[in-house]
Amino acid sequence: MSRSMSFNKKELEKKREKKRQDKQKRKESRKASSGSGSLDDMIAYVDENGMITSTPPDPNSKQEIDVNEIIVSTPQREKEEITPLRGRVEHFNQSKGYGFIKDMGSIEKYFFHVSNAPENVAEGQIVFFELERGQKGMNAVRITLAN
């Protein structure tokens, strides 16, 4: 029985050695097929048209660029005329000092504070207003009564 154990051990050791050799051969073949693997082989260049190439650009063919011709900013935004929106005062609480205006051009309702409205504003009145972003959304500001 001891001979069979040693025979099995020898067979297992042969299999392990064969696996190691196969692995080494695969490693060498991958290394040979991938090239030298040097840093120069890995560098890529971008030409003047934005295409990636393996050849470096010719330093003699560089064009001189005037720095003053480069525009780095965006064009100024044209001023828009702010057209006041038209709406109806849906709710107004004089004691608490706030209300809501329903826009006649849409279904939106906008909050307003009494400091942005005329003194004689009341529910049901038609008003003109402008919008401004507040803490919790868009608020109606610069409210005027429609005649």
pLDDT < 70 regions, the chain = 1-5, 34-37
Q: Which domains does the chain have, with CATH numbers?
A: 1-57 (no CATH), 85-145 (2.40.50.140)
CA separation for the pair 45, 134 (Å, rounded): 51
Tell me which amino acid residue 58 is: D
* Per-residue confidence (pLDDT) for residue 3, from 0 to 100: 52
* Per-residue confidence (pLDDT) for residue 25, from 0 to 100: 94
* Contact between 141 and 132 (Cβ < 8 Å): yes
* Per-residue confidence (pLDDT) for residue 54, from 0 to 100: 85
CA separation for the pair 36, 38 (Å, rounded): 6
CA separation for the pair 71, 62 (Å, rounded): 21
* Per-residue confidence (pLDDT) for residue 89, from 0 to 100: 95
Kindly tell me the burial class for residue 127, based on how many C-beta atoms sit within 10 Å of its own C-beta (0-12, 13-18, 19 or more): buried
